[in-house]
Structure 1
Amino acid sequence: MNPEQRVRELAEERIADRNDLFIVDVKLGGGRLEILVDGDQGVKVQDCADISRHVGFHLEEENVIDHAYNLEVSSPGIDTPLKMERQYRKNEGRDLGIKQPDGTRREGKLLKVETDGILIEEKIKPAKAAGQKAQLVENFIPFGQITEAKVLISFK
């Protein structure tokens, strides 16, 4: 078993009694071990501390990683792309910026998450015809057509 798999197991073991929390990613590299944890209602600092203590203790006991590393447990930042269906669900009603495999960029309000993709509401501007207003159009985007999706933050 590689170290990332064991770290994920340990982190999931620590939050097994917490249905509201989930592990998004585990990365090991450059002397840094990073665990990203998210929650349906957010993540508290104490949650990160509990996971860090649990994982750190067991990694030392089991000598899973044979070199020096810094253990960091945090929630994904606002600029971190969504990776899991559960993260999309958590962000229903918010605006997303989406990149597609062909380089197309789209923006829209996340209306609904389905098992195979998302439904967004996009503002479509008509070709330069006088007096026409932008229209709101619902479009389904399969997960396979999303290379990156981020929540857009508005400071209006």
Structure 2
Amino acid sequence: MTDQAPLTPDEAAGATPEARIRVLAEEVLAETDLFLVDLSVRGWKGSQVVEVFADREAEPGTGVDLDLLADVSRRLGFLIETEEIITDKYRLDVSSPGLDRPLTDARQFRRHVGREVALRLASGETVEGELMDATPASVTIQPMETTGTKSKKQRVASGDPVQVAHADIADARIQLPW
């Protein structure tokens, strides 16, 4: 898992449009309970797409408020235009990462406690199971296995819980039940 150090405003002034927008997004999000998960600028001049994925540290089972995302989008769009970072037509998409995107920030794990995850470790090993706990330093996974017949499959605990440091996680994804 990677943590990118934000650019200072002076560094951003000579940086790429993506880096400059990242600085603005961090500033806008700092005024909310959201944090930046990922940002990309793709496409060509006149038809660029700016994608911003924001999440929040929250209790398990809670999500990101759509009204808050809309407000972030309005404020960020205003700043992009005011700073003249993109002067042609562009589309700004601000959303939460969704369950199909990898968990890339340690702060994302807490609200997914109770869900099944698959971790690929830096060592190449894979750990799959229920996310039991998440701290700033590590996660605890209860390994699971599938039992039963084809029509009545069940996931049951298998073995002792495994604690994994965030620094050892190369990729983490929510396992969708279907």
TM range (shorter): 0.7 to 0.9
State the secondary structure of the residue aligned to 1:147. Answer: strand
What TM-score, normalized by structure 2, do the two folds share?
A: 0.70
User: Is the Cα contact below 8 Å between 1:123 and 1:137 reproduced in 2?
Assistant: no
Identity %: 34
Counterpart of 1:136, as a letter, is G
Residue 68 of structure 1 deviates from its aligned partner by: 4.2
For the aligned residues, what is the CA RMSD? 2.5
Residue 95 of structure 1 deviates from its aligned partner by: 1.2
Counterpart of 2:23, as a letter, is E
Distance 1:105 1:67, change over 3 A: farther
Distance 1:102 1:16, change over 3 A: closer
**Gap regions ≥5 residues in structure 2:** 1-11, 147-155
Residue 153 of structure 1 deviates from its aligned partner by: 2.2
Match of 2:92 among 53, 65, 71: 71
Counterpart of 1:33, as a letter, is V
Match of 1:47 among 68, 80, 85: 68
Q: Name which of structure 1's ranges 47-56 and 107-116 shifts more when overlaid on structure 2.
A: 107-116
Residue 94 of structure 1 deviates from its aligned partner by: 1.7
**Gap regions ≥5 residues in structure 1:** 126-132
Distance 1:92 1:134, change over 3 A: closer
Whole-angstrom distance in 2 between the partners of 1:68 and 1:107: 43
Q: What does residue 27 of structure 2 align with?
A: 13
Whole-angstrom distance in 1 between the partners of 2:31 and 2:24: 13
Residue 34 of structure 1 deviates from its aligned partner by: 0.7
